[in-house]
Amino acid sequence: MPVRFLTALLAAVAFLPALPARAQAPELPDRIAVAWRTDHLSVDPRLAIPATELDRIRGAMRTAGVPVYVALVPRTPYLAKNRFDLPTLLHARIGEPGLYLVATVDDKSWATNAGLYRQGGLRGRDLTSVRGDDKQRFDIVSDRPAPQIVRTIQHASTAYDGRALPAVPAADLEPERHRGLSVTDKSDRAAYVGLGVGGFLGLVLTLMIALRRRGKPGRSGTSQRAVEPRKVQLKADGKIKQAERAFGRLDRRRNKTTKLLDQRDDAYRRLDAARTLRADQPDDVLASAGALVLARQAERIASGAALQPPCFFNPTHNPGTAKVDWSDDVEVPACEWCASVVRRGDTPPGLLVPAKSGLLGHDRKPVPYWTLDPEDSPMVATGFGALSDDLADRITGRKEDAR
């Protein structure tokens, strides 16, 4: 009898302190920061991670040569909004130099976000540039946490002290599959704008210049307002989430055929570029619209649907399922609405953005994005991928060039 009573009492005591904590739960960054006071590897209590995975992560943390903070958390609505900012928020709370890494899991697909913070004046490389150089990063499995986390820690070590990046162990790699794009793939991708591979890039530039000359939308009269950046950002983030879920579903399929693996590759490339755009230029409306287009395409491809180009005039519109003649024999993909405007002989208002030029900043009248200089933005240069389907590659390539 006394034993049973004691058990009941202990259960009650164990339960009581949990109540006020639940009534006013601290924010996730605060919870992680507190957990890191006792252990630099923090695992959310809702997750059950095998000990072998945690041992591997600890091993990598010990040999990193730089302080490493790791948190494993399930993807929640809070995280969907703040995932990219979490390393910064956590570093602000801890205040020490080091690698701050947050690994999130959605269903069974893991993703990592990390920031490397160090004292000024030290030599070393940018974490993003090391990551961009690592061709194997696309091949690492995401169905368990250690492979991606260990790789990110290795990236940080290379960025920090210049040590060589080791090869990824075979067990962490997706099964063998085709790498790189064949000419046929490229011509398939070029097909939807009606251009062949030969001289393709040169044509795109000429096209963009012709389109710029064609200029501004005319007469529709109503005062034209620039697109609201916040709306595009929310749309892009929502779409990135959907793409991640579609990607997770694809990842969980067993016995993937070569075709499925190619789909996975293509979807990931676009998703990665979309995330990069949002992370690197969070306030830029062109970057947010580019992320929206790429995430939408990633979701479709991961779900097995055919690739669709965006509406050339406004990438936030429905995809460009119609084709319209717009400028001197140039055909562009457009949404049904914009296509009907063009067929009437008008120019759709398009995606309007604040003009960069203008003396003393007075001339803030919004302009269609295609009148901006294509040299300044891969989104403008490719019509958000409507003119050439290489936006994702340009984003990733840019990341790799930024050394």
Cβ of residue 308: shortest distance to Zn ion, in angstroms? 13
Cβ of residue 349: shortest distance to Zn ion, in angstroms? 9
- 190, 388 Cβ separation under 8 angstroms: yes
User: Nearer to Zn ion by C-beta: 94 or 372?
Assistant: 372
User: Nearer to Zn ion by C-beta: 309 or 378?
Assistant: 309
Cβ of residue 341: shortest distance to Zn ion, in angstroms? 8
User: Nearer to Zn ion by C-beta: 317 or 394?
Assistant: 317
- 165, 158 Cβ separation under 8 angstroms: yes
Cβ of residue 64: shortest distance to Zn ion, in angstroms? 48
Exposed/middle/buried for residue 209 (C-beta within 10 Å: 0-12, 13-18, 19+): exposed
Strands 366-368 and 41-43: unpaired
Cβ of residue 375: shortest distance to Zn ion, in angstroms? 25
User: Nearer to Zn ion by C-beta: 79 or 338?
Assistant: 338
CA–CA distance, 253 with 262 (Å, rounded to integer): 14
User: Nearer to Zn ion by C-beta: 116 or 208?
Assistant: 208
Give the type of residue at 155.
H
User: Nearer to Zn ion by C-beta: 267 or 372?
Assistant: 372
CA–CA distance, 330 with 220 (Å, rounded to integer): 23
User: Nearer to Zn ion by C-beta: 317 or 399?
Assistant: 317
User: Nearer to Zn ion by C-beta: 127 or 311?
Assistant: 311
50: CB partners within 8 A, 6+ apart: 144
Cβ of residue 87: shortest distance to Zn ion, in angstroms? 36
CA–CA distance, 49 with 103 (Å, rounded to integer): 12
CA–CA distance, 333 with 79 (Å, rounded to integer): 35
- 295, 303 Cβ separation under 8 angstroms: no
| Token representation of residue 393 | 């590659």
Selection from 247, 227, 272, 252 nearest residue 84 by Cα = 272
- 147, 140 Cβ separation under 8 angstroms: yes
Cβ of residue 267: shortest distance to Zn ion, in angstroms? 24
Selection from 389, 222, 367, 373 nearest residue 300 by Cα = 389
What one-character-per-residue DSSP string does 303-346 give? Answer: TTPPP-PPPSS-TTSS---EEEEEETTEEEEE-HHHHHHHHTT-
Residues interacting with Zn ion, by CB under 5 A? 311, 313-314, 317, 335, 338
Report the SS3 class of residue 62: helix
Cβ of residue 367: shortest distance to Zn ion, in angstroms? 17
CA–CA distance, 269 with 135 (Å, rounded to integer): 12
User: Nearer to Zn ion by C-beta: 29 or 348?
Assistant: 348
Determine phi and psi for 231, rounding to 5 degrees.
-65, -45
Cβ of residue 351: shortest distance to Zn ion, in angstroms? 9
Q: How many CB atoms lie within 10 A of CB 388?
A: 24
| Token representation of residue 12 | 């009650």
